[in-house]
A and B are shown apart, each in its own frame.
Chain A
C-alpha cells in the first residue's frame, strides 16, 4: 500500500491523506472534512475484511493498514486503475462537501448525521483542579562500597546494561542511509549529497518522582545535547513531545488526581520553557493519558513520562561525531559544570535498592536530593560553541553523560573504543565542595565529554572560552580505565572485564 501511495503521489493522483487510527473512518473522514465543511460517506461501499459488520462497526473499526485519501473527481479512475494494477484494495466511499454536516449512510440509508460544529467543537472543556505539593526527597543511605564496586554494580543494572542483543533485532541499516547507528542516528537525506539529519531521544521518568518540571527540562536538554554532540546545527532542531501519563483526573479511583494533574502542568511548563530557550519547535507529538491498571485489587500507575524525539540538520555527515575515542594520546575534556544533583539518579536508586535487599523503594518520592536543574539559556550558548568546534572538525569524539553520570559515560567510551582512559577528577568543574560520589555519578545537565587530538587542543580551548571546561585526562593504552581524585586512585579497572559485566545481564533476551 505504501509503495502504491508513493507512486500515486508522484503522479499527483490525490490531494489529501490521513491514516485510519483511533476512531477509524469516523475520525479520519471527520478530520479531513473540516477543510471543506462537511462530508457524505456510504459505509456499504467500504472494503471489509469479513462480512456481517454493523454500520457503526464499519465507521469505528480501527483495522490497520488503511488510509483515507481525498481525490479530485477527474483523477478517480486513474487512481483506482493504479490501485488495481498494484493489487491494493481501494474504494470511493463518499464526497467531501460544504454542507456543514458529517453525513453517514449505509446502503443509501442515513445512519448518522452530525453537525460539523458539534463534531469538532462540541466537547465541553473540562474544569479541573491541580495542587502541587513538592515531595521531599529521602536522604541517600550510607555508602559502604568503594567507587570501583559501585561502578561495577551500576554497569550491570538493567537500565545501564548493554541493549545490543535487542538493538540488533531491528534493521538499522534500512535504505543504506545510516551513517551513525543504531540509536543517536545520523542519516543521509540524499545519497549523493553530504547533508544529513541527526536523530536523538531524551527520556527520564525517575526525575518525575521529584519534580516533573525539572524532568521535562532535563529531557529536552538530553535530546538537544545528544543532537549537538552528533553534529546537528542548533537553529535547525525540531522535536516531537510524546506524553505517557497516569490518569490526572481526580475521581474515586484516582484520589491523587490533583497532584497528578499538577505534575502534568509542571511538565508542560518545563517543556515550554526549555523549548523556547533552546529555540526548538515542537512540530508534532502524542499523548496517552490513562496509563493505569488495577491488578489483583492494586492500582498501578505508570510514572509521568515524557519522551522527546528530536531531529536536526548536519551540513556534512562526514563531520558527524561518535562517543568512542579514536586514538591513544588524544586529550580528554569535560565541558559543563557538575552539581550536587543525585536526586532520583541511577546511583541514588541503586544505593537505596541495595539497602532494601534489591527491591525498589516506593515511588511516592525519590531518594538523593535535587534532580538535575537545567538552565537552557546558559546551555544554548555552550551548544553553539560545541557545534562550531564540530563543524571545524576539532573533536575526535563527543559523549553526553546522562544516566549514571560521568563514571558510566567514561566506561562506555572505553568500551566503544576498546582503548583505555586515564582520568583525574580534581580538574572537573564543579559546584563548591562537591563530593566524590557526585563527581562520579551526578546526572547534571549540559555536559559533554570530548576527546581532542593534541594538535587541535588549543583551538578547542579557544572555541570553548567562557565555558566551564577542563582537561580531565588522556586516551591511554588499551586495557584500563583509571580514575584518580585528590592523589588517590579510586578506580583502576580492566576494560574488557568491565565490558563483560555490562554486556552479561541482557546478552540474550
Chain B
C-alpha cells in the first residue's frame, strides 16, 4: 500500500449498487479522499488498488440479487479484476462491506477467512421472517474483537434494510469459534443491551445476534446495518425527541466506522 498524505477510498459502483453517494459523503466527512469507479472500469484496469487505503463494497442490490444477494457480484469481483482484493488486503489494505457488500465479501470467501479462501464457510441468506425489513436496530460492540472498524463503538443505533441478512455458518462449532475468537465485532441487542434473537431487535434471525463479521487481521469487516446512513443526527427516527431532550448527537454517530478506518491508516 502506497503511503499518501490523505488516505483514499475506492468505492466500486454500478450494476445495482446504490449507496455510493452517502458512502462517499461519510468517508469525506472523516477526512478521506474518495473515488467512485464503475466496476466495468475496474475490470478494465483504469485504477490501481495500490493507490487506496480502503475499499468499500457498498449496499444496493447488485445484479438484481439474482442467484442470491451478492452472488453474481462476488463472482465478478473474483474473476474480472486485474488485481485481487485478497492481495490488496494481504498488502495491508482495509476492506469494508456494507449490506450487499457484506453478502458479497462472505460469498467471495474473504469473510471470515479463518483457514484460507478455498472454501466458503459462511453465507448471508434470507431473513428468518421471510421478507425484506426496514428498521433501526441497536448494535453492541464486542470489546474483545480485533476488528479495527468497531473500536470504541460501544452502543450504536443504525438502520437495516435488507431481505437477506441472516448469517449462517457451516457448523455450530464454527459459529462458536467466530464468537470466541473475536470475529463477531457487533451484535444486535434488545432494549436491555443483551444480544437477542427477538424480532425486530434482531431484524433477520441471525444466530447469537450476529450483525457483522471480521477476518483474522481485523482489516476486513462486513456488516448488514448501514453506518453511512447515519451520517447526520437528523436521520435517526427519534431525532425530534432527542433534540427536545438535548441528547441530539453533534454529528452522525455512524461515522465512527469510517473514522476508525481513517485513523488506522493515518497511524499505519
Contact = CB atoms under 8 A, between A and B. Distances in A.
B226 A317 contact: no
B131 interface: yes
Interface stretch (A151-159, A165-173, A209-217, A304-312): A165-173
B177 interface: no
A188 B252 CA distance: 15
Contacts of A172: 134
Interface string A86-109: 110000000000000000000000
Contacts of B21: 175, 191
Nearest to A167: B134
Contacts of A7: 38
Contacts, number: 79
A169 B131 contact: yes
A173 B14 contact: no
Interface majority SS on B: helix, strand, loop or mixed? Answer: mixed
Given A3-B14, A87-B40, A176-B231, A169 B161 contact: no
A144 to B, nearest CB: 39
A85 B240 contact: no
A80 to B, nearest CB: 15
A176 B132 contact: no
Contact of A171 (B25, B38, B134): B134
A173 B234 contact: no
B234 A179 contact: yes
Contact of A173 (B13, B44, B161, B240): B161
A320 B235 CA distance: 12
Contacts of A176: 19, 22, 25, 226, 228-231, 235
A385 interface: no
B235 A178 contact: yes
Given A87-B40, A168-B134, A326-B240, A174 B18 contact: yes
B135 interface: yes
Interface majority SS on A: helix, strand, loop or mixed? Answer: loop
Nearest to B231: A176
B205 interface: no
A63 interface: no
Interface string B209-234: 00000000000000000101111101
Interface string A1-26: 00100010000000000000000000
A24 B243 CA distance: 51
A363 B38 CA distance: 55
Contacts of A397: 240
A396 interface: yes
Interface in B235-268: 235, 237, 239-241, 243-245
Contact of B237 (A85, A177, A181): A181
B243 A173 contact: no
Contacts of B25: 176, 191-192
Contacts of B40: 85-87
B80 to A, nearest CB: 11
A173 B244 contact: no
Interface residues of B, number: 35
Contact of B229 (A173, A179, A182, A188): A173
Contacts of B159: 173
B38 A86 contact: yes
A300 interface: no
Contacts of B237: 181
Contacts of B22: 175-177, 191
A184 B259 CA distance: 33
B14 A171 contact: no
A171 B229 CA distance: 12
Given A191-B22, A317-B234, A169 B132 contact: yes
A322 interface: yes
Contacts of B151: none
Interface in B1-25: 13-15, 18-19, 21-22, 25
Nearest to B200: A168
Given A85-B41, A179-B235, A322 B240 contact: yes
A197 B210 CA distance: 36
A16 B109 CA distance: 44
B11 to A, nearest CB: 13
A289 interface: no
B100 to A, nearest CB: 12
Interface in B185-201: 200
Nearest to A173: B159
Given A3-B14, A174-B161, A176-B22, 7 more contacts: A85-B38, A87-B15, A87-B40, A171-B161, A175-B21, A176-B25, A176-B231
Interface of B: 13-15, 18-19, 21-22, 25, 38, 40-41, 44, 131-135, 159, 161, 200, 226, 228-232, 234-235, 237, 239-241, 243-245
13 contacts: A3-B15, A3-B38, A168-B135, A173-B161, A173-B226, A175-B21, A176-B22, A176-B231, A191-B21, A318-B243, A322-B240, A324-B240, A326-B241
